[in-house]
Chain A
Amino acid sequence: MTDFERKIRADFPLIESSRCVYLDNGATTQKPECVLTEINRYYETMNANPMRGLYELSVEATEAYENARTVTANFINAEDPREIIFTRNATESLNLVAYSYGAHALKPGDEVIVSVAEHHSNFLPWVEASKRTGAKVVFFDCAPDGSFDLDELKKLVNTHTKVLAVNAVSNVTGQKNDIAAMADIIHEAGGVIVVDGSQSVPHESTDVQVLKADFLAFSGHKMYAPMGIGVLYGRKELLDAMPPFLYGGEMIETVSKERVTYAEVPHKFEAGTVNAGGALGLKAAVEYITKVGFDKITAKERELVKTAVEGMKEIPHVNIIGGENPDDHHGIVSFIIDGVHPHDVSEIFASENIALRAGHHCAEPLHRHLKVMSTTRMSVGMYNTCGEIEQFLDVLKSIRARMGYKDDRQYFLQ
């Protein structure tokens, strides 16, 4: 183990104590001690309902919560903390945009372009928004390696185009999209770009201004923060114009029997009691990532993926989904093995204490488009080691033989 690996792993209690080789970071990541401590600190020393009480505890809780917003805004270089809305997860963030921006901007005959590689969370909300408003969903197809051709996008946009929904990194292929270039195309047509950053924000530095993103959604739990806290970034003038998503407490200015005035952003979109402990956990995760440094995190994850992809290419009957080049895979490598069902593959890995994900990864349109039923996915986090990747490759080599195939080159495990 390298010093970096040892040092990082020591920060993650579950990684330190578990025998599991955890390679399912695309689903959720483990949490460092500092995040767990921060959540505890919130409940042990500052818990009160933020925004509601006039007493000191509640004021403190409010300040801590709003500070988490500022830290998060700086993390993605948002111009204004009010552009950060706390949600439960990326799914809720994307539903919020599709519902509220959809209600504000979509009308019959409009078109919403959705990339075929979207997670269902950035696809189904647009299907429903289109049903409600009379707009139409148009698919933006990718090449067999999962990459998108900007010229194809130019052909799809027209005067009816209102939205492009696309991920920054695919949760299946690990392919990274040129969001800034896509944003230029959609902006020229007068539409907005809604970016699903679930698989990019945890792994590389994000600057919403460089990306020219109008909206960006991501989940805390995939970036070392607790489950139950997510983020929607939205450009302030867009958020200002949108109707609320949920109605109730804490999102109003004044209410009488006849009239209500809604609160300003971001509180307009944060109805009900907020997840202050989660927001503080997210803040701690952001601070932890910043302390380690994205230069180191991204370089480490790249090295892991490179080791994996190069090793996988050497193994007969293993087919990688997406690009040939290790650099086409940002933290994620999905694959199929000839003649072995992905659930059997992940079962064998599970028996060797290696956690992988199998299935369609909530991206059925992409699987259909690529003509694979389901795949097995390995996805790395900052605490994974090259040794773990070697273990992964050793088991991978043995799978066909374990499933009864008699190949020319047989691999057996010692």
Chain B
Amino acid sequence: MTGNTFYNEIINEHNLKPYHKRAVEGANFTLEGVNPSCGDDIVLELKVEDGIIVDGGFTGDGCAISQASADIMLDLIIGKSQEEAIRLSDIFLRMIKGSITDEEKEELEEAGILESVSHMPARVKCAVLGWRTMRELFGRTD
């Protein structure tokens, strides 16, 4: 069999044992994100103090891509400022559309492995669910 899926160890690990899949005590930003095509449904919770994301988590269900992507995103943005999180999500969304530089990809750390989703149109919505929900939490609805 030749099938090359991108379900690699990193995605599987984040899907099977999501580190950030939990409710967040004292969260002051909470929003549900839904992707009707897959039935992915997550609630993203962030705790922001003085503009810094000090804690975050998500609950809900979905496909491996949506779950792993949300978990990886939280790894990346916890400890960063709101603006920085938005900036990184700009890069992530552009990556999924297929246009970023190597330096930018480096900035995304583990999230860079989701680049191959740009060749899987049916799964784009899954990959960006957590990121879009985070942007919406911070008032970005583009």
User: Residues of A at under 8 Å CB distance from B?
Assistant: 339-344, 347-348, 351-353, 359-360, 373-374, 394-395, 398, 402-405, 413-414
Q: Is the CB of A344 within 8 A of B3?
A: no
Instruction: Report the separation of the CA atoms of residues A343 and B64 in the bound assembly, to the nearest whole angstrom.
Output: 9
* Given known contacts A374-B39, A402-B5, A347 and B123 CB-to-CB distance under 8 angstroms: yes
A413 neighbours in B (Cβ, 8 Å):
1
Instruction: Report the separation of the CA atoms of residues A342 and B64 in the bound assembly, to the nearest whole angstrom.
Output: 10
Q: Is the CB of A344 within 8 A of B4?
A: no
Chain B residues touching A, range: 20 to 34
The 8 A-B pairs at the shortest CB distance, nearest first, are namely A404-B12, A351-B3, A341-B63, A352-B3, A413-B1, A343-B63, A351-B5, A344-B64
State which of A344, A352, A373, A395 has its C-beta within 8 Å of the C-beta of B7.
A344
Sampled A-B contacts (25; CB under 8 Å): A340-B64, A341-B38, A341-B61, A341-B62, A341-B63, A343-B126, A344-B64, A347-B7, A347-B120, A348-B7, A351-B4, A351-B5, A352-B1, A352-B2, A360-B39, A373-B61, A374-B38, A394-B1, A402-B5, A403-B7, A403-B12, A403-B64, A404-B9, A404-B15, A404-B16
Instruction: Report the separation of the CA atoms of residues A360 and B40 in the bound assembly, to the nearest whole angstrom.
Output: 12
Query: How does the 8 Å CB contact mask read for B15-56 relative to A, with 1 for contact and 0 for none?
Result: 110000000000000000000011100000000000000000
Given contacts A359-B39, A395-B1, A404-B12, 15 further A-B contacts (CB under 8 A): A341-B61, A341-B63, A343-B122, A344-B64, A344-B65, A353-B3, A359-B37, A374-B38, A394-B1, A403-B12, A403-B64, A404-B7, A404-B9, A404-B13, A413-B1
A351 neighbours in B (Cβ, 8 Å):
3-5
A395 neighbours in B (Cβ, 8 Å):
1, 3
Instruction: Report the separation of the CA atoms of residues A348 and B64 in the bound assembly, to the nearest whole angstrom.
Output: 12
Closest residue of chain A to B12 (Cβ to Cβ) is A404
B13 neighbours in A (Cβ, 8 Å):
404
B61 to chain A, nearest CB (A): 7
B3 neighbours in A (Cβ, 8 Å):
348, 351-353, 395
A353 neighbours in B (Cβ, 8 Å):
3
A339 neighbours in B (Cβ, 8 Å):
16
User: Residues of B at under 8 Å CB distance from A?
Assistant: 1-5, 7, 9, 12-13, 15-16, 37-39, 61-65, 120, 122-123, 126
B59 to chain A, nearest CB (A): 15
A340 neighbours in B (Cβ, 8 Å):
64
State which of B7, B63, B65 has its C-beta within 8 Å of the C-beta of A402.
B7
B122 to chain A, nearest CB (A): 8
A226 to chain B, nearest CB (A): 25
B15 neighbours in A (Cβ, 8 Å):
403-404
Instruction: Report the separation of the CA atoms of residues A197 and B4 in the bound assembly, to the nearest whole angstrom.
Output: 38
Q: Is the CB of A348 within 8 A of B1?
A: no
A360 neighbours in B (Cβ, 8 Å):
39
* Given known contacts A343-B63, A403-B64, A414 and B39 CB-to-CB distance under 8 angstroms: no
Closest residue of chain A to B63 (Cβ to Cβ) is A341
A359 neighbours in B (Cβ, 8 Å):
37-39
B98 to chain A, nearest CB (A): 19
Among the interface residues B4, B15, B61, B63, which one has the most CB atoms of the partner chain A within 10 A?
A: B63
